[in-house]
Amino acid sequence: DEQLADWQQLELQVMNQAGVRTEKLWFNFTPDRVHWATCAGKNFTDRQRIKRKAAGWGRRYQALPAAERLAVLAALMAVEAT
């Protein structure tokens, strides 16, 4: 902890064969968004809601014609670039 005092840290509860454990991640950047979709949401219910919403969007996106999918993808990437 003392050697990495100026780094960001994140503690996560994870499950392994021995039960629930706390893992601590150290990183030297300021996260401006979630890097893993599985971590989006504040609790299980929120993560489940987001997962279901993303699955629904994915199904509707897949059903679009190729040209429309490309247009939607370009718009989403433009939003992420800002």
pLDDT at 57: 96
- What is the DSSP track for 25-72? EEESS---S-SSGGG-SSSHHHHHHHHHHHHHHHHHHHHS-HHHHHHH
pTM listed for this prediction: 0.58
- Asked whether the predicted pLDDT for residue 9 surpasses 70, the reply is yes
Tens-place pLDDT, residues 47-65: 999 999 999 999 999 999 9
* DSSP three-state, residue 6: coil
Compute CA distances 58 → 21, 22, 73, 80, whole Å.
Answer: 33, 32, 12, 17
